[in-house]
Chain A
Amino acid sequence: MLAGIRTKDLRKVYNSPPPLAAGAGGFSFAAARGKGKQPKPQIVALDGISLDVTPGEIFCLLGPNGAGKSTTVGILTTRVRPTGGQAWIGEHDVWKEQVPVKRLIGVVAQRPNLDFSLTAREILTFHGAYFGLDSHERAKRALALLDRFKLLDRADQIVRGFSGGMMQRLSIARAMMHDPQVLFLDEPSSGLDPQTRLLLWEIVREYNQSGKTILLTTHNMEEADALCQRLAIVDHGRVIAQGTPRELKASVPGGYLLRLRFGHQSPELLQRLQALAGVREVRATDGNGADLYADRGGSLVGEIANLALSSSVELCDVHISEPSLENLFLHHTGRSLRE
C-alpha cells in the first residue's frame, strides 16, 4: 500500500522553549493573555504549514535552522502535538490514529537516539521485534542492513563507543528495519563525511525506487537539489515556495544573482544598475551592498565595473551565483541559507 503525507494549516506554538529535538526556536514572540498571570513568552514554531507529498516521491523541507522543519517532522511522527491544523499519513489522521500511523512510518531523528544499552545488532533486532517481526526475519534483515550500511565489523558492540557517523548510519538502518512505507529523515547527512553522504543518497534513492515515500529535511541546498523530486522551502514556520527544484530555480527573476558591495551606495547607482541589459531586479542590502537578479552572470561584471567607475564609486566585492535554490531563498527572505 502506497502512502503519502498531507498536512493542512499546521500550527505549533510552544509555551516554553521547544525541546532540542524539535530544533525550532527563536523567532516570533507574542505575549499570552493569562488572566491576571504573568504573560508567558510564546514561541511560534509553525505558522500554518500545508504540504501534499505524493506517495512514492522524495520530498524535501529546505530551510535554515529554526525554520520549523523538525517540528513539522515531529508532528507527522506523533512526537509533537500540534496547536492547530491536521496531518495525515496515507489515509490516517496522525493524531487520531497513532498506532496505524506508527506502523507506516520510519523515523531518523536529527540527533542519534539509539538505545545505548544494546549492541548495534540488538538495536535492529529489538526494533524488528517491536514491529512484530519473527526472530528469523529479524536476524535476516538486521544482517542485510548492517552489511548495507557497512557496520558488520562492529555489529556486536555496544553503540556507546560508536562515532557520530556510525550512529547516524545505524539510526537510518533501524528506521528501515520494519520496511516502512514512509521514511522521515531529519537532517540525515549532518555530521557525515562526503563519502558516507554519497552512500546515504544512494540508499535513499534505492529505497525510494521500491515505491516508498521519503520526507527529508535539510539546510543543504545541494542535497535538496540532488536528491528531491519536489521540495518546500520553509522559513519562520511558513512555506515560502513549493515545487520541483527546476521550477523553483526558474521562479527566481533572471536566475543569476550577483551580490555586489560598493564603497558607498546611492539610489542613483541602483537605478543605473537596474538599467543594465539583462538585469531583472535590484535590491539594496545592508552595508553599501546591492543584490542584482539578472539573466546572465559573468558577462555583466565588466559593465558593472565601468558603471561604478563612471559614477566615482569603488566596487569592493562581487559574488556571482548561478541559478540555485540559495538564490531563491535569498530572493524571498533577503537572507542567505548559509548565514
Chain B
Amino acid sequence: MNLKTFLAMLARDAHVARRNIIPLLLQTFLQPLMFVFIFGRVMVGSGYMPPAYKSLLLPGIMALSMVGTGIWAVAMPLIGEFQFTREIEDRLLAPMDISWLAIEKVVAGTLQALAAGLMVIPCAWLLLRPGVDLNLRAPFLFAGIALLVALFSAVGGLALGCSVEQTHIGLMFSLVVAPMIFFGCTYYPWSALNNFPIMQKLVLVNPLVYASEGLRGALVPQYPHLPLIAVLAGLVFFDVLLLSVGLRQFHKKAVS
C-alpha cells in the first residue's frame, strides 16, 4: 500500500464531506430525531407507550443512524462515480493497488458512521430526557461494538454501491434498506418477536439485528438483548462477508 496516496484520498473525501456538511447533517439526523421525538416523546408522553420504551429505542436509533450514514456515505458516491462520467478513474489511476481505494472508502464511511452514532446519543438523550436509563458498564465493549457496526455499514455500502446501478437506487432503498430497517430490531428488541417464532429466526439473517441488539446490550444491558457472543460473531461474520463481496464487486466495476 502507498500510505501517502491513501491519506490523500481520505483527505479528499473529508474535504468533500466538509463542503456538504449541512445536507449531510440533515440527512443523518433529521429522520432519526423525528422518530425519537414522535415515539419517545409524543407516544410515551401521552401514555400510549410505556416509559421503558425510551431506553429501548435509543440504541436502536443509534444503530439505524450509523448504518444509514455508513451505507449512504459509501454507496451513493460509488454509484455516482462509477457511472458513465467515471469520476473515480482519477483515483483508480493513482499509484496504489485499487483494492486500497475500496478500503479507503470503507475507512471514510466507518468514520462517518461512528461520528453519526456518537452524535445521535447526546441529541436523542436531550430529546428523550428525563427517563432514559443508559447504563454504560463496559465502555470498551461499547466501543468495540460501535466500531463493528460502523464497519458493517461501510462494507455494506461498498457491496451495495458496487452492485447497484444508478437507475436502481430507489429500488435499493425499498427492497434492501427499508426491510432491513423494519426487520432489524431497531424499534423493538429481538425478544419482542417471541410470539412470531418463524420470523424471529428469519430476521437473524439481517445484520442490522446484531447491530441494534449489540448496542442495546452495551448501552441498556438491563433490558433483554441477544447474547453478546452472538452479537460479536454475527457482526464479524457480516463484516468479513460484505467486505469480500464488496471488494470483488469493486474490481468488477473498476476493470472491464
A244 within 8 A of B: no
Q: Is the CB of A74 within 8 A of B256?
A: yes
Which partner residue on chain B sits nearest A131 by CB separation?
A: B95
Q: Is the CB of A127 within 8 A of B90?
A: yes
Q: Is the CB of B90 within 8 A of A113?
A: yes
Which partner residue on chain A sits nearest B94 by CB separation?
A: A130
A162 within 8 A of B: no
Which stretch (A76-84, A222-230, A320-328) binds chain B? Answer: A76-84
Q: Which of B9, B15, B93 has the most CB of A within 10 A?
A: B93
Give the contact-size bracket for chain A.
35 or more
**Smallest distance from the beta carbon of A76 to chain B beta carbons, Å?**
12
Interface string of B81-100 (1 = CB under 8 A from A): 00011110111111111000
**Smallest distance from the beta carbon of A120 to chain B beta carbons, Å?**
13
Q: Is the CB of A130 within 8 A of B8?
A: yes
A122 to B87, CA, bound (A): 14
**Smallest distance from the beta carbon of B251 to chain A beta carbons, Å?**
10
Contacts of A109 in B (CB 8 A): 86, 89
Given contacts A79-B89, A109-B86, A109-B89, contact A99 B97 (CB under 8 A): yes
Q: Is the CB of B93 within 8 A of A122?
A: no
A102 within 8 A of B: yes
Given contacts A113-B90, A117-B19, A129-B8, contact A98 B256 (CB under 8 A): no
Q: Is the CB of B92 within 8 A of A79?
A: yes
A126 to B15, CA, bound (A): 10
Contacts of B255 in A (CB 8 A): 78-81
A123 to B94, CA, bound (A): 13
**Smallest distance from the beta carbon of B163 to chain A beta carbons, Å?**
16
Q: Which of A204-219 contact B (CB under 8 A)?
A: none
Interface string of A89-123 (1 = CB under 8 A from B): 00000000011101101010101111111100011
Q: Is the CB of A130 within 8 A of B5?
A: yes
Contacts of B86 in A (CB 8 A): 21, 109, 111, 113
Q: Which of A242-277 contact B (CB under 8 A)?
A: none
Q: Which of B86, B90, B91, B97 has the most CB of A within 10 A?
A: B90
**Smallest distance from the beta carbon of B145 to chain A beta carbons, Å?**
32
A84 to B5, CA, bound (A): 31
B46 within 8 A of A: no
Which partner residue on chain B sits nearest A14 by CB separation?
A: B256
**Smallest distance from the beta carbon of B124 to chain A beta carbons, Å?**
30
Q: Is the CB of B90 within 8 A of A115?
A: yes
A174 within 8 A of B: yes
Contact partner of B256 among A22, A103, A115, A116, CB < 8 A? A22
A232 to B13, CA, bound (A): 41
Q: Is the CB of B93 within 8 A of A102?
A: yes
B12 within 8 A of A: yes
Q: Is the CB of B94 within 8 A of A131?
A: yes
A312 to B87, CA, bound (A): 62
- Which of B's residues lie within 8 Å of A, judged by CB? 2, 4-5, 8-9, 11-12, 15-16, 19, 84-87, 89-97, 255-256
- Which of A's residues lie within 8 Å of B, judged by CB? 14, 18-22, 74, 77-81, 98-100, 102-103, 105, 107, 109, 111-118, 122-123, 126-127, 129-132, 174
22 pairs from A and B in contact (CB 8 Å cutoff): A14-B256, A18-B256, A20-B84, A74-B256, A79-B89, A79-B256, A102-B94, A102-B96, A114-B87, A115-B12, A115-B87, A116-B85, A117-B87, A118-B12, A118-B15, A123-B90, A127-B90, A129-B8, A129-B11, A129-B12, A130-B8, A130-B94
Instruction: For the A-B complex with A115-B90, A117-B87 known, give 19 more contacts whose Cβ atoms are closer than 8 Å.
Output: A79-B89, A80-B255, A81-B255, A99-B97, A102-B93, A102-B94, A107-B93, A109-B86, A111-B84, A111-B85, A126-B12, A126-B15, A127-B90, A129-B8, A130-B90, A130-B91, A130-B94, A132-B4, A132-B95
